[in-house]
Amino acid sequence: MTLSTRSRPSAARRPRAGTAPTTGRRSRQARVGLLFVAPMLVLFTLFRLVPTAGAFLLSLTDYKLSGEWSFVGADNYTRLAHEDLFRESLLVTLTYVVVFVPMTVLLSLGTAMLLDRVVWGRGFFRGVFFLPYVTSIVLAAVIWKWIYDAEDGLLNGLLHLVHVGPFDFLGHSGSVLPSIAVTSAWKGFGYSMLILLAGLQSIPRSLDEAAMMDGANAWQRFRHITLPLLRPVLFFVLVIETIQAFQVFDAMYVMTGGGPVRSSYSLVYLLYDTGFKYFDFGYASAIGLTLFAVVLAVSLVQRRFVGRED
């Protein structure tokens, strides 16, 4: 007795062997993943996106401390383009970035490579180098201000032993930015060092050993093996150190007060004075958003040349 054609299951309707509906599972996984990241998304929206949008709207107004405001459109940005003090502070900030970022990245990379070779006491030295990072920047600035002091400072005392100096490191326009950059690099290089050390330890040792057997020297192994494999980590460190450099304020405020003759007067310092000294909140918001645009542009350039994937 045979089955009728109508009762036979259609081939198009038969489930394939070894397969299962994936649409529902993927939808459930997406909902679960969204549930896990929802708290962070809410916090990011409340404390990042909303204030940024508020700052943009505020930059289009003339806002007074009393709460009175008037819409001025792009007048604050036009004022920025024609103000000499803004251009001077932008030049100071860019100069500081050019000095600070290579110094910090090279110091972090060199220290990480040294620690990567250490067998005994690596954790101890790692903690010692990371300790300045958890120190208050105000405390670090006060200590280094005493070190740089032209009369009673430690550095000039050491130079006096070899009959050199004294030098006024913080009182000369040509040395004030490098001096502050050294302080900030000492304060913050430990964080980047740990990230680079983790990246170095993730590189397989077999690649380095194979290159040694082929006769490659230390520089060739670093250039053709370590540096390409470390590029994603190096790009991350470069971006975060660049952002930190553009936001420099604390060290300059404590060590120099923006002097001498505004040679250490950064964009954030100008933003601080405009908003909290002269209470021109609309113009201060325009400065902050312009700084954001500059940092974003520099980060995109870094991604183009350093963060690209070959």
The stretch 140-165 carries a mean pLDDT of: 89
Label residues 198-219 b or e (16+ Cβ within 10 Å = b): ebbeebeeeebeebeeeebeee
**Nearby residues of 23 by Cβ (< 8 Å), 6 or more positions away:** none
> 93-96: which pairs have CB atoms within 8 A and are 24 or more residues apart?
93/245, 93/246, 93/248, 93/266, 93/267, 93/268, 95/177, 96/177, 96/180, 96/181, 96/245, 96/248, 96/266
Taking residue 245's Cβ as centre, other Cβ atoms within 10 Å add up to 25
Q: Which CATH superfamily is domain 95-305 in?
A: MetI-like (1.10.3720.10)
According to DSSP, the residues that pair with 70 across neighbouring strands are 62
The stretch 149-176 carries a mean pLDDT of: 88
Torsion angle defined by CA atoms of residues 71, 73, 74 and 78, in that order, rounded to the nearest 10 degrees: -50
Q: Which residue ranges make up each domain of the chain? A: 95-305
Q: What percent of the chain has pLDDT over 90?
A: 57
Structure tokens at 10: 């259609």
Q: What is the pLDDT of residues 183-213, one digit of tens each?
A: 999 999 999 999 999 999 998 888 888 988 8
Q: What is the pLDDT of residues 70-118, one digit of tens each?
A: 999 899 999 999 999 999 999 999 999 999 999 999 999 999 999 988 8
Q: What percent of the chain has pLDDT over 70?
A: 92
pTM for the structure as a whole? 0.85
Q: Please state whether 31 falls in left (phi above 0), alpha (psi between -120 and 50) or beta.
A: alpha
Measured distance CA(264)–CA(257) in Å, rounded: 8
